[in-house]
Structures are given as C-alpha cells and as structure tokens.
Amino acid sequence: MDKAVILAGGQGKRMKAEMPKPLFKVLGEPMLEWVITACESADISDICVVKGYKGEMIDEYLAGRYTTVNQAERLGTGHAVQQAIPFLSNEKNGNTLVLCGDAPFIDEETIRQSLMLHKQNDNAVTVITAELDDPTGYGRIVRTDNGIKGIVEHKDATPAQRSIKEVNSGAYWFKTGDLISLLGKLTNDNAQKEYYLTDTVSIAISEGKKAGAYRSNNANIIKGANDRRDLLELNNYARMEVINKHLINGVEFVCTDGVIIERSVEIGLGTSIQPNTILRGKTKIGEGCIIGPNSVAEDCIIGNNVVFNTAQAYQSEIEDGANVGPFVHIRPDSRIGSDARVGDFVEVKNSAIGSKTAIAHLAYIGDSDIGRKVNIGAGTVTVNFDGVAKSRCVIGDYSFVGSNTSLIAPLRLGKGVYTAAGTTVTRDVPDYALAIDRGELKVNEGYTLRKMKAKK
C-alpha cells in the first residue's frame, strides 16, 4: 500500500501566532487538511504527519485520525522525514509520497499522474515540479539531456542555477525502501547546515538509481504562506476557485463581494448567491433559492426555492419554499418546515417549525415543537429556561398565538388553540380552547389634566 508523509513541523514565525503553520486556515480549513484531502482523494490513507513546533496542537486537530511523529528539533526537511522511518519500515515495497503541510493546493491529479510516471520509469525518487516566473527562494531542478541531476537550494545555487525557473514543489514520490536507505546518507554540509531531503535525488543518482521529475502544469501546487499577506492571497485564490466551480454548475452570482463559500458546500442549479454571504461546512442548498445578501449558513440543509435574506443559520434544516429573514437567527438543531415564514427579529433554537407556519416578527422560539399553519404573533416568547432546566413547548396545528404571549415551558397547546394578546400561559390548553389572562383594565378619565394642574 502507498503511504504519505506530511511535513508539518514548521512554526511560521512571520505569521506572528503561536501555532504550527499548517494549521492556519484557507477557506475555513487548515492547510494541513487540504493536503490530507488531496491524499485521500488519490486513495492514499496510510498517512503520517511529522509535527514539531507546538506538535500537541497538530495531535489535537487530528484527533487520532492519522499517525503523528515528533521532530524534536528543526534540522531540515530530510531530518523531518527521518523521524517517520519507523512508520515507513512496516512496508518497504510500496511507494511513499512526501508532502509539505503548508502547500494546500496539491491536487489529486498531480498525485496520481506523478505516481504513474514514477512507476513507469521505475524511479527511486520522482520530484514534483512546476515553473515559476519568479523562482526566488525555491530549490531549482537541474536537468540533463536525458533526465535530472539534482535539486539545488536557492541559497546554495550558482548564478546560472538561479536562472532556472523549474522549481521543487516540495512533494515527491519515493520507493519506500530506497527512501529509508537514502535518508541514512544525508549530511548537513550546506549553506543552511540542514539535512536537506532534496539531496536524496543526487545521492540516488550517484548510486546508479533512477531519479526523475514530474512537471505539473498547475503552478499553484507550490503556493504556500510565509506571512498573513500570503495567507490572504491563498484564501482569495481558493475563494474564486470555488465560486468558479459553482458558476460552471449554473449558480448565479451578480457580485462576489464578501462571498465566501467553503469547498464542501453544495449549491443547486439556478440558486442565486447575493453579496456578503458566507456558506460554511457541510451546507447543502437546493435549486432556485435566493441566499443573501448578508447571510451565514453553517452545516445547514436548505431545500429548493428558499429565500434566506440577511439571516444566520447553524446546523439546521430549512425546507422547500420557506422564507427566512431579514434579521433572523436560527440556532442549532432547528427545522423550518416547507413554506414557513420566519421574519424580522426572530430567533429560533432547537425547535421544529411546521409547514406553512408564520413567525413573522419579533419572537423567541426555543426548545419547541410547533405544528403546521400556526400563527405566532409579534412579541411571543417561549419561556424555556427557569434558571436551572430547559423545558419544551408544544403547539398544535392551526393554533393562533396572540401578540406578546409568554409560553411558560413545559407547556402543551392543543390543536386550534387561541391565546389572547398579552397572555402568560402557565398550563396546558386543550384543543380548540382560548387561553386568556386579563387583569381588569382601569381607565381614569381626566388624569393627565389633573396632574398638570397640580404641578403649577
């Protein structure tokens, strides 16, 4: 089985944060996760991550999904891979892909194609390369008439070598057995006094082994981030890549300002995404919706023909034809039924709202199950928390909850129940009943005039 080793030991001092660089996020996911996803999509699932600076944060993030090994001191990329030798040794006959954890745009196709070339040519090592207009800082690929001779780091390169535009992406395929033996032969005899993984290429050639280069047409595989400006650039690039994918799939954008869509989001045909809309995680949106402007949806399932305007929803479901917003907050574990209407200044939490029910304005609905075709008046509050425990409200189909009703949970309103405006409902109400709670209204005539006179 093929393996992958991902180097994630670096700090990234210029990020100015106490976090391993591969954990900085691009479109909501750590760069390390992008690299892992590329491996997984190329069917590589035997992965070892080399951690170093703040390695415990890498472990915490991976939560046991993959093996990690620790590089106690940062002595170079070759030294980093040496730490993975125990991981490599249990199966020396396959191939191993070495990758940088801070170059997020390595892709499935590059991984598969380079492996094909690696196997076809029976190489001990195949380095993945690309051409850059400005190769400054990168290792240069030194080619010969019929192959490659080695990789020269920028700091060690002659002026002639520095003019080479083909650079090392930092990703390579090795025959696992050869990798283990080559790692044992590295020295730190160079400008940076580091054990360079790149030296494996010239060592392999000097031993009569075959080495080659796979040149990718996608120069983005090299893109990494040294500081936060670079990271912003990666985010902008990834953001437009995702938007372009949706445009090709028939999603409408008239202006992409402030639109951030994470790469796992799915959007149906003919849906329109308005400015300042952020779609995160496993959000899935149907066809013919209008989403935004000024909206956030995270891990939400949204049906067809939904209007979601100036609203935020988290870990919830919104069914076909619902109309949500503006100024609506839907908190986790909620379900808004088909053709329901949730309007201005409404908060819904951990509640199910039935089909065609209207909560048109100014309400808090928490821990509740509301039936179909219910009308919830303005100012209605489910009093779901008594300071110690949370309780549920159940409201039957066709009920009409008058404005400013307080529903003291636990509480059950039957079917077709009316509550009078301003009522505080403290116990269950049976089907088709009216709950009304009215103090006697006193009208004191001439009061204002008497008060003014007394003041003079």
- Pick 212 or 224: Cβ nearer ligand UD1: 224
Contact window for ligand UD1 (CB under 6 A) among 194-202, 292-300, 310-318, 389-397: 194-202
- Pick 75 or 362: Cβ nearer ligand UD1: 75
- Pick 30 or 139: Cβ nearer ligand UD1: 139
Residues 57-96: x where in contact with ligand UD1 by CB under 6 A, - otherwise, as a string: --------------x--xxxx-xx----------------
50, 267, 306, 311: which one binds ligand UD1 (CB under 6 A): 50
- Pick 138 or 418: Cβ nearer ligand UD1: 138
- Pick 211 or 413: Cβ nearer ligand UD1: 211
153, 262, 317, 397: which one binds ligand UD1 (CB under 6 A): 153
- Pick 98 or 363: Cβ nearer ligand UD1: 98
Instruction: Return the structure tokens found at 136.
Output: 């400054």
Residue type at 62? L
Is the distance from CB of 96 to CB of 183 less than 8 angstroms? no
Q: Does 129 bind ligand UD1 (CB under 6 A)?
A: no
Strand 95-100 and strand 3-8: the pairing is: parallel
Q: Does 110 bind ligand UD1 (CB under 6 A)?
A: no
Strand 341-349 and strand 211-215: the pairing is: unpaired
Fill in the DSSP letter of residue 321.
T
Measure Cα distances from 23 to 81, 111, 230, 262, 427 in Å.
Answer: 19, 22, 14, 16, 52
Nearest distance from C-beta of residue 166 to ligand UD1, angstroms: 10
Compute the distance between CA of residue 371 and CA of residue 394 in angstroms, rounded to an integer: 8
- Pick 139 or 268: Cβ nearer ligand UD1: 139
Burial category of 279 from C-beta neighbours within 10 Å (exposed 0-12, middle 13-18, buried 19 and up): buried
2, 3, 4, 7: which one binds ligand UD1 (CB under 6 A): 7
SS3 39: helix
Q: Does 38 bind ligand UD1 (CB under 6 A)?
A: no
- Pick 100 or 370: Cβ nearer ligand UD1: 100
Only one residue has tokens 């991902």, namely 6
Counting residues that bind ligand UD1 (by CB under 6 A) gives 29
Q: Does 396 bind ligand UD1 (CB under 6 A)?
A: no
Nearest distance from C-beta of residue 266 to ligand UD1, angstroms: 31
Is the distance from CB of 285 to CB of 291 less than 8 angstroms? yes
Site for ligand UD1 in 235-274 (CB under 6 A): none
Nearest distance from C-beta of residue 181 to ligand UD1, angstroms: 18
Q: Which residues contact 336 (CB under 8 A, 6 or more apart)?
A: 316, 317, 318, 319, 322, 324, 330, 342, 348, 353
SS3 219: helix
Residues 197-236: x where in contact with ligand UD1 by CB under 6 A, - otherwise, as a string: xx-------------------------x------------
Compute the distance between CA of residue 445 and CA of residue 404 in angstroms, rounded to an integer: 26
Q: Does 54 bind ligand UD1 (CB under 6 A)?
A: no
Q: Does 15 bind ligand UD1 (CB under 6 A)?
A: no
**Mind giving me the DSSP string for 158-206?**
-HHHHT--EEEEEEEEEEHHHHHHHHTT----STT----TTHHHHHHHH
86 prior amide bond cis, ω within 30: no
| Residue 154 a catalytic site member | no
Q: Which position among 79, 118, 329, 361 bears the catalytic label?
A: 361
Q: Does 135 bind ligand UD1 (CB under 6 A)?
A: no
Q: Does 292 bind ligand UD1 (CB under 6 A)?
A: no
Compute the distance between CA of residue 216 and CA of residue 128 in angstroms, rounded to an integer: 7
**Which residues in this chain contact ligand UD1 in the complex, by CB under 6 A?**
7-10, 21, 50, 52, 71, 74-77, 79-80, 100-102, 138-139, 151, 153, 167-170, 196-198, 224
Catalytic positions: 361
